[in-house]
């Protein structure tokens, strides 16, 4: 993955340290691994961010930031990737996770009646029944997507480095 491309879209460490929310963390935010754009840091952040994105929990940004601090992976990328599940995609993503959970548990899938459009009241009325398949499906989908994201970034980064080295050696050989 090219660093210049990622640096263009990620905020700088200095600008985040100045933000009122992050000033409380103080010296913990100064660790260089949280801001490096290397293969280990970016792939770890991709795995962490994708895993947390599929968990149906509140405060996903906080979980991703704390996980990035603990694992010492790229903080802005880990937090940014959780926005895969945003208000527009949250319903289909978590319904897919629920379907995976019901398939794993062999449980019947609950569907709302055709006369009533499912909403928050239907969801909160059924939460006692759907929480277990939803969590199991979310953990499985999150784990698989996190691992795939980690290994995909590793592979793409390795290929990019190999191509740059080959181009450098070709240019040196042609001189």
- pLDDT, one tens digit per residue, over 127-169 is 777 888 889 999 999 999 999 999 999 999 999 889 988 888 8
CA torsion 128-133-135-140 (nearest 10°) is 180
Cβ neighbours of 31 (radius 10 Å): 14
Total domains, the chain: 1
Rounded CA separation 124/126 (Å): 5
Rounded CA separation 62/24 (Å): 13
Nearest C-alpha neighbor of 55 from the set 155, 140, 154, 151: 140
Strands (E) in the chain, as ranges, are none
Mean pLDDT for the stretch of residues 116-130: 67
Q: What is the domain range of residue 106?
A: 3-173
Band (pLDDT 50/70/90 cuts) for residue 13 is: low
pLDDT at 175 exceeding the cut of 80: no
């Amino acid at each position: 993955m090219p660093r210049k491309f990622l640096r263009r879209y990620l905020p700088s460490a200095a600008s985040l340290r100045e933000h009122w929310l992050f000033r409380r963390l103080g010296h913990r935010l100064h660790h260089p691994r949280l801001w490096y754009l290397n293969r280990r840091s970016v792939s770890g952040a991709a795995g962490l961010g994708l895993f947390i994105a599929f968990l149906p929990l509140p405060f996903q940004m906080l979980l991703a930031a704390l996980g990035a601090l603990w694992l010492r992976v790229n903080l802005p990328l880990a937090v940014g990737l959780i926005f895969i599940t945003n208000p527009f995609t949250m319903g289909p993503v978590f319904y897919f996770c629920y379907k995976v959970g019901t398939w794993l548990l062999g449980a019947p899938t609950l569907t709302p009646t055709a006369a009533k459009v499912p909403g928050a009241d239907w969801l909160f009325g059924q939460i006692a029944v759907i929480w277990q398949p939803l969590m199991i499906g979310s953990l499985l989908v999150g784990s698989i997507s996190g691992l795939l994201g980690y290994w995909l970034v590793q592979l793409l980064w390795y290929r990019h480095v190999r191509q740059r080295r080959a181009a450098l050696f070709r240019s040196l050989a042609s001189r």
